Amino acid sequence: MTNPETWKSWEGRVVDGKFPLRQYLGGSDHSAVFLTEISTPDPQRAAIKLIDARGMDVDGELARLRATAALTHPHLIHTLDTGSCQIDGDLVLYIVMEYADDDLARILPQRALEPSEVGDLLPPVIDALSYLHGRGFVHGRIKPSNVLAVGEQLKLSADNVQFADNTNSTRRRIDAYDAPETAAGIVTPEGDIWSVGAILVAALTQNVALAEDGSASKTGLPQNIPEPFRSIARECLHLDPKRRCSLALIQACLQPTGRVARSVPAETEAVAVPSPSRGRRPIFGVPLALIALLGIVVAAMYWRGKRPEVPTAGAPAESAGESASATPAVSPPSATAQPEALKKVTTAGEVAHRVLPHVPQSALDTITGTIKVRVRLKVDASGKVASATFQASGPSRYFAAQAMKAAESWEFTPPQVDGQPTASTWLLEFRFRQTSMLASAQRV
């Protein structure tokens, strides 16, 4: 029955007596999308997706579609209506959605996105996924064609959304945007995290295949992917779903407050808060929309090569070269000593590989408030942890042990003195809450 040629021949039909099929927009053997309109005093343009219902659990699929229709978020495509009907004797399901003006899949074949554009793209995606995961859903199909622009809003499609507790998913891996475990029908929130990493790599390089390389080796991602995006992608693309970072961690890494000025005390905690992305003009417009003042500042720092060091988990991070340029408390050196002082230029190290504790949600559910564990690391000149001790173990032996185990697996790019790598000391802080785990690192 259904193939692209057959779908297109349905132009001019009316679905369920309400939705005319104005124009065929695209499809596959199993589904098709048409331009339609909703009959109101002021007719509204919309998109309608038709799904071949043969061999399908129709009642279960309709229940899923109706559940997605109840989802309302500024960065999710709004579902306007759902149902089923017969067309030429064939049963089809339909979902009517708000019409999108553009999508990322149309942009990437032409050019990669600039870092400032990716900085505009990620917060709405993370906001939408946080909303879905918090309500027991997973998206399951984050790819460029499902990252859409509606007017001045960037949105994720909602027609693929499914229940997170669906253990009998019929979905299978299609491409690198799908997490590897999708091949076995496993669709989880951790799979969405993988997809975020894959779409991040694709947006900056136009080559999603590099995401597979990045998952196999921590050096697999191209060096020209700028921070913090390279670190975010690397932590999203773990083959083991349990090792993938959280949405809160991605959100924290994107926070400009995570890059603190020298005047901020070292112990100041950077709090991960939702990014204020409402009302932002989407990246897909030509010419590009005006970026918020903060975005301009960050982009300028990229181009001038003065971007401060990226925090590992939204926590205060020492800027490169800070220890060499900080004003000493003693009197300034004499003129004769100045050349030697300038010779010993110190560059700050950074986190190369971060590991979060493996703690099941059942254990997190026992927490009231926040549990903090601080671990002091002695790191050798190769960047490996030589020793680890507790600075503050917190109230729980269990969480302290999990934090210590994770801390011992961290790796670092060592600081350099006179161009030579040197040992360093780091203070890690792990924060456990019912809804998240965060980790921050600070060089001592």
User: Do 376 and 351 fall into the same domain?
Assistant: yes
What is the sign, positive or negative, of the torsion defined by CA atoms of 304, 310, 315, 320?
A: negative
- pLDDT at position 312, please? 37
User: Do 70 and 60 fall into the same domain?
Assistant: yes
Residue 414 has pLDDT above 60, yes or no: yes
For the domain that residue 89 is a member of, what is the CATH number?
Answer: 3.30.200.20
- pLDDT at position 28, please? 82
User: Do 38 and 154 fall into the same domain?
Assistant: no
- pLDDT at position 441, please? 87
User: Do 136 and 230 fall into the same domain?
Assistant: yes
User: Do 182 and 311 fall into the same domain?
Assistant: yes
- pLDDT at position 347, please? 64
Domain-located, residue 292: yes
Q: What is the pLDDT of residues 179-224, one digit of tens each?
A: 999 888 888 999 999 999 999 999 999 999 888 877 766 567 888 8
Among residues 81, 99, 117, which one ends one of the domains? 99
DSSP of 344-392, one letter per residue? S-EE--EEEE-------HHHHTT--S-EEEEEEEEE-TTSBEEEEEEEE
Candidates 189, 200, 193; CA nearest to 166 is 189
d(CA 244, CA 234): 9
Residue range of the domain that includes 118: 101-317
Candidates 325, 444, 436, 303; CA nearest to 371 is 436
Domain-located, residue 434: yes
User: Do 142 and 278 fall into the same domain?
Assistant: yes
- pLDDT at position 361, please? 83
d(CA 55, CA 78): 27
Q: How far is CA 433 from the centre of its chain?
A: 20
| Highest mean pLDDT of the ranges 283-287, 349-353, 381-385 | 381-385
Confidence of residue 384 (pLDDT cuts 50, 70, 90): very high
- With a CB cutoff of 8 Å and minimum separation 6, the contacts of 253 are 228, 231, 232, 310, 311, 312, 313, 314
Token representation of residue 383: 């960047």
Predicted TM-score of the model (pTM): 0.58
Domain-located, residue 298: yes
**For 35-46, what is the mean pLDDT?**
85
Domain-located, residue 322: no
Residue 310 has pLDDT above 70, yes or no: no
DSSP of 51-82, one letter per residue? EE-TTS-HHHHHHHHHHHHT---TTBPPEEEE
Token representation of residue 316: 């205060």
d(CA 65, CA 34): 18
Burial tier of 219 (Cβ tally within 10 Å: 0-12, 13-18, 19+): exposed
Q: Give the alpha-carbon dihedral of 190, 191, 192, 197, to 10 degrees.
A: 100
Collapsing DSSP to helix, strand or coil, 339 comes out as: helix
User: Do 19 and 167 fall into the same domain?
Assistant: no
Among residues 49, 75, 99, which one ends one of the domains? 99
Candidates 197, 202, 264; CA nearest to 234 is 197
Taken as a whole, the chain contains a residue count of: 444
Q: What is the pLDDT of residues 395-409, one digit of tens each?
A: 888 889 899 999 999
User: Do 228 and 209 fall into the same domain?
Assistant: yes
Confidence of residue 298 (pLDDT cuts 50, 70, 90): very low
Among the ranges given (90-104, 310-324, 369-383), the one the predictor scored with the smallest mean pLDDT? 310-324
Domain-located, residue 326: no
Domain-located, residue 329: no
Among residues 279, 299, 317, which one ends one of the domains? 317
User: Do 190 and 291 fall into the same domain?
Assistant: yes
Candidates 292, 209, 198; CA nearest to 237 is 198
User: Do 154 and 296 fall into the same domain?
Assistant: yes
Tally of domains within the chain: 3
For the domain that residue 244 is a member of, what is the CATH number?
Answer: 1.10.510.10
User: Do 129 and 69 fall into the same domain?
Assistant: no
Q: What is the pLDDT of residues 71-100, one digit of tens each?
A: 999 999 999 999 999 888 889 999 999 999
Burial tier of 67 (Cβ tally within 10 Å: 0-12, 13-18, 19+): middle
Domain-located, residue 424: yes
For the domain that residue 425 is a member of, what is the CATH number?
Answer: 3.30.2420.10
User: Do 34 and 121 fall into the same domain?
Assistant: no
Residue 280 has pLDDT above 70, yes or no: no
Domain-located, residue 339: no
Residue 261 has pLDDT above 60, yes or no: no
Q: Which residue has the higher pLDDT, 442 or 388?
A: 388
- Please give the mean pLDDT across all residues of the chain: 78
